[in-house]
Amino acid sequence: MSHLTEQNRKDISSTLAHNKKCVKIANAIGCDPTTIAKEIKLNRIISKEARTKGNKILCKRLERFPYVCLACPHKYTSCTLTQLKYDARVAQKKYEFRLHETRKGINLTKEEYDSLNHQLKEGLLNKRSVYEIVKTSEIDISVPTVYRYISEKKMNITKMDLPYAVTYKKRKKINKKYDYPNNRVDRSNRSYLDYLSYRKVRLNEMTVQMDFLGSIKSDSKSILTLIIPELHFVFLAPQTLRGFRYPSKVKGDFL
């Protein structure tokens, strides 16, 4: 097991409260007993301050397993020293914080960092691309990582030193003819009952129902129908199949 999970830490906290031995906890989780001991000592926190201010002396019981006061018989009675506990939730947060902090910075030695800086400077002055510089370098690093280091200002060069960075610009987005905000609403799984519910709360709105009278496949024309139920009005218009692609023309004739 490489890393303890959040569930493992919950199991440790639960078994400590039942005064289980370190070996039994390790066997239940599937790891080495030293892993359990290091986990508890590393992530234990103060549960109760000492009654005497400035008294930082810890109980000698905390020097051996379980390293906390969860199952101590003197916890709620005669103990006046600082008490420690193991909280799975706090331990998980401390682990995630340490994991994040250890992955910060540059994953290079000082010699590799200085060499990469020098190669980038010399290569960019000779109008070579970052890709070409990295691929011909002996340093084990990827091209996206180099660009990320440059963006985060972790290298001695800036984006302005890159050959194409100042020439790139954001592309203009060309909107489609019928692309408008309301057209992006997800209308899947809607039924006729949804339409009736919509009409029930909007009694003063009139709706237009569009349909067509079908014909056989060999016919090039069909009859378009526009119905206004509130007025009991039906508009019929012969239309070619191409006309259905441009309903705005029919709407203009109708109005």
The closest alpha carbon to 82, from 54, 113, 118, 110, belongs to 54
Residue with the larger pLDDT of the pair 196 and 178 = 196
Q: What is the pLDDT, as a whole number, of residue 250? A: 53
Q: Looking at 18-27, 30-39, 188-197, 225-234, which range is the least confident one?
A: 188-197
Whether residue 155 sits in one domain with residue 94: no
Residue 202 gets which letter from DSSP? -
Note the residue count of the chain.
Answer: 255
Overall number of domains in the chain: 3
Residue with the larger pLDDT of the pair 215 and 166 = 215
What is the pLDDT averaged over residues 30-52? 89
Whether residue 93 sits in one domain with residue 11: yes
Is residue 132's pLDDT more than 70? yes
Is residue 248's pLDDT more than 80? no
- In this structure, are residues 48 and 82 in contact, taking their beta carbons and an 8 Å threshold? yes
Is residue 53's pLDDT more than 80? no
In a domain, 84, yes or no: yes
Distance, in Å, from the CA atom of 167 to the CA atom of 239, rounded to the nearest integer, reads: 51
- Which pLDDT tens digit goes with each residue over 186-230? 667 778 888 888 888 888 888 888 887 777 777 777 888 899 988
In a domain, 10, yes or no: yes
Distance, in Å, from the CA atom of 90 to the CA atom of 96, rounded to the nearest integer, reads: 10
Which residues, listed in sequence order, are joined to residue 212 by a DSSP beta bridge? Answer: 224
The closest alpha carbon to 134, from 124, 125, 16, belongs to 124
Whether residue 52 sits in one domain with residue 75: yes
3-state secondary structure of 222: strand
Q: What value does the mean pLDDT of the chain take?
A: 83
Q: What is the pLDDT, as a whole number, of residue 87? A: 92
In a domain, 189, yes or no: no
In a domain, 191, yes or no: no
In a domain, 126, yes or no: yes
User: What is the domain range of residue 244?
Assistant: 207-255
Residue with the larger pLDDT of the pair 232 and 213 = 232
In a domain, 50, yes or no: yes
Whether residue 135 sits in one domain with residue 68: no
In a domain, 197, yes or no: no
Residue with the larger pLDDT of the pair 184 and 221 = 221
Q: What is the pLDDT, as a whole number, of residue 12? A: 94
